[in-house]
Structure 1
Amino acid sequence: MEKYTDQFMSMALQYAPKILLAVVTLIVGLKIITWLTGLLQKVLRNRHVDESIIPFLGSILSVLLKVVLLITVAGMFGIETTSFVALIGGAGLAVGLALQGSLGHFASGVLVLIFKPYKVGDLVTVAGFTGEVEEIQVFTTILKTLDNKRIIIPNGSITSGPITNISGQGEIRVDMQFNVAGSESIDKVRKVVNEVANSCPLILKDKPTDVLVNCLETGTIKFDVRPWCKSASYWDVYYFMQENIKRQFDAQGVQAPTPAMNINLAK
């Protein structure tokens, strides 16, 4: 008994500090992980990141940190952790290769939700499609096009190309062009266009409506017309101007260009 008692005391004195340190490390580590997870979620909420992704990112961070903590504690007990690290690394590599496309879309979705190049309700052009953002998910963004089609675009395709947020600034300029006969008075055409613009309640009155001569061609004067409006009213203003400028041109006798050619015959 004395022999076994001495061996037990010897082992206790040898391993007790390691066990105590490992337990303290585990308890303190779990508290730090909880604090870091809460801090991440708080930062994401302060940046107005989509609420649906915040718990998901917090869970990923918590799991990763806990795996690292457990490996560290196991090493403090004297357990060889190299094989565990290699196994976890190999499994992670295999999963990453199998899901590399999906993981790329996931990473792109996280970037979109964090940095917010667009939000739900914005009119955007992404991946060659133009439409209103109906929903932003982790893997895809859903657009509703102007002809009421539902387009589901992988987020990886969106972040790999240019993103045009048409309505993100709150106000937008509506660019359009009108052609009149080369014999028409520039001042008269500009007056008619301004009268139509002033009659539209959706056009912003605190910004001037540009009516500019774009170019002069044979028998034609091309005008650029550029009123401003709220982003949500873009198409209403566009179609209002198209219809009512035509009506006013007819009422005021402004002639449309007619293709013509002067031919001189030598005797």
Structure 2
Amino acid sequence: MNLNPDQLTNYANTFLNVLIDYSPKLISAFIILFAGLYIIRLINRFIRTLMVRRNLDPTLTRFLADILLWVLRVILFVSFISKLGIETSSFVAILGAMGLAVGLSLQGSLSNFAGGMLIILFKPFRVNDIIEAQGVTGTVSEIQIFVTKLINANNQTIFVPNGSLSNGNIINYSLQKIRRADLTIAISYDTDIKKVKDIITAVLKNNPKVLQTPAADVSVKNLTDSSIQLAVRPWATNEDFWGVYADTLENCKHAFDSAGIVVQPFVKESSKNNNKTTDPLL
């Protein structure tokens, strides 16, 4: 199509007129955009500083600040396109539909997200606490929004989803400063119970890591067909717990050997109806 000079002039004039008429909206829209970005940055910085001063959890501080940042950016973008004269009702409807679709497809992730928020807010455990939950035990290395990272005794990293973690039972071994060990020692029926209890009590008193308050307890736990089971319950700090656990067993064995007391081995009980078995392993 050939355009003559008059048509080009008319198109140019029309474009200039539209540009002149639309330029106030365009200029004001970009002023709102740049001013809004600057104000959002100031608000985000102020909120982060305020939460740090209130000693909020660093993970929660970072997450809430990021959420606020993106919410303000979405509001600013809607205001920007609205100032340009673009209809925003359909745009908001599209955003709502997209949010619903994403929410339905990420139900598990949203559950973990909600669990992470509950853990961060109510703090059933903190970083460096030793916990037992969901069948695993370890030291809390990091509390993330969707998962909690544990380091077990074998130096293996375990990621536990926050959804199941927040809805299940949690044993926090670090919440209290002291901890009781529960040990079982079996002796034969021919052994003098009082003598054995005195020996164990002396072993516990000679261990400086065993706390005197609360006092350790040594008592009869159970009478089985093959042995008398004694419950030995010393108290120790969290740092000394496993040392006290191992030292008590080892020192009691040495003391029993010196006194001529034989520890009764645990015997696996079996039914008389199983006497006909021919399996040598049973």
Task: Determine the structure 1 residue equivalent to 2:118.
Answer: 111
Which stretches in structure 1 are left out of the alignment for 5+ residues?
A: 1-22, 260-267
Deviation (angstroms), 1:204: 1.5
Per-residue deviation, residues 6-33 of structure 1 (Å, max 9, x unmatched): xxxxxxxxxxxxxxxxx9xxx99x9799
Deviation sequence 1:75-121 (CA, Å, 0-9, x none): 89998643233122112122223333333323322322232211222
1:142 pairs with one of 128, 145, 149: 149
Which residue does the alignment assign to 1:255? 262
Q: Among residues 50, 57, 61, which one is paired with 2:64 in the alignment?
A: 57
Tell me the distance in 2 between the aligned counterparts of 1:41 and 1:191: 60
Q: What is aligned with 1:8?
A: none
| TM-score of the two chains, using structure 2 as the length reference | 0.69
- For residues 186 and 134 of structure 2, the distance between their equivalents in structure 1, rounded to whole angstroms, comes to 33
| Alpha-carbon distance in 1 for matches of 2:72, 2:168 | 33
Counterpart secondary structure, 2:160:
strand
Determine if the alignment matches structure 1 residue 157 to structure 2 residue 160: no
Is the contact made by 1:141 and 1:155 (CA closer than 8 Å) also made in structure 2?
Answer: yes
Q: 2:93 aligns with which of 86, 90, 103?
A: 86
Corresponding residue for residue 9 of structure 1: none
- Aligned to 2:159, the other structure's residue is in SS state strand
Letter in 2 for 1:235: W
- Distance in structure 2 (CA, Å) of the matches to 1:44 and 1:112: 18
**Counterpart residue number, 1:216:** 223
Relative to structure 1, the CA distance from residue 188 to residue 101 in structure 2 (aligned partners, 3 Å threshold; closer, same or farther) is same
Report how many residues are paired.
240
The answer for the alignment partner of 2:50 in structure 1 is 42
The answer to whether residue 175 in structure 2 is matched with residue 168 in structure 1 is yes
Change (3 A) 1:42 1:226: farther
Query: Given residue 90 of structure 1, which amino acid in structure 2 is its aligned partner?
Result: A
Residue of structure 2 aligned with 1:98, choices 72, 94, 105: 105
Distance in 1, Cα, partners of 2:201 & 2:47: 55
What letter is aligned with 1:174? A
2:214 to 195, 207, 230: 207
Picking from 243, 246, 259, the partner of 2:253 is 246
Residue 228 in structure 1 maps to residue 235 in structure 2:
yes
CA displacement, residues 113-145 of structure 1 (integer Å, 9 cap, x when unaligned): 232211222211111111122222222222222
Inter-partner Cα distance in structure 1 for 2:183 and 2:177: 19
Give unpaired runs (5+ residues) of structure 2: 1-30, 268-282
Describe the superposition over 1:212-250 as per-residue Cα deviations: whole angstroms up to 9, x where unpaired: 111223452211111111113222111111111111111
Separation in structure 2 between the aligned mates of residue 38 and residue 207 of structure 1, nearest angstrom: 49
State the Cα deviation string for residues 13-69 of structure 1 (Å, max 9, x = none).
xxxxxxxxxx9xxx99x979976984586357535413x441331131243256457
SS at match of 1:54: helix
Q: Distance in 1 between matches of 2:52 and 2:228?
A: 54
- RMSD of aligned C-alpha atoms? 3.6
The AA in structure 2 aligned to 1:46 is R
Q: Which range is displaced more, 212-221 or 78-87?
A: 78-87
Give the whole-Å Cα distance in 1 for the aligned partners of 2:73 and 2:156. 45
Assess if the C-alpha contact under 8 Å between 2:48 and 2:62 holds in 1: no
> Using the alignment, how far apart are the partners of 1:110 and 1:45 within structure 2?
20
Instruction: Please say if residues 34 and 62 of structure 1, whose CA atoms lie closer than 8 Å, have aligned partners that are also in contact.
Output: no
The two structures have a TM-score, normalised by structure 1, of 0.73
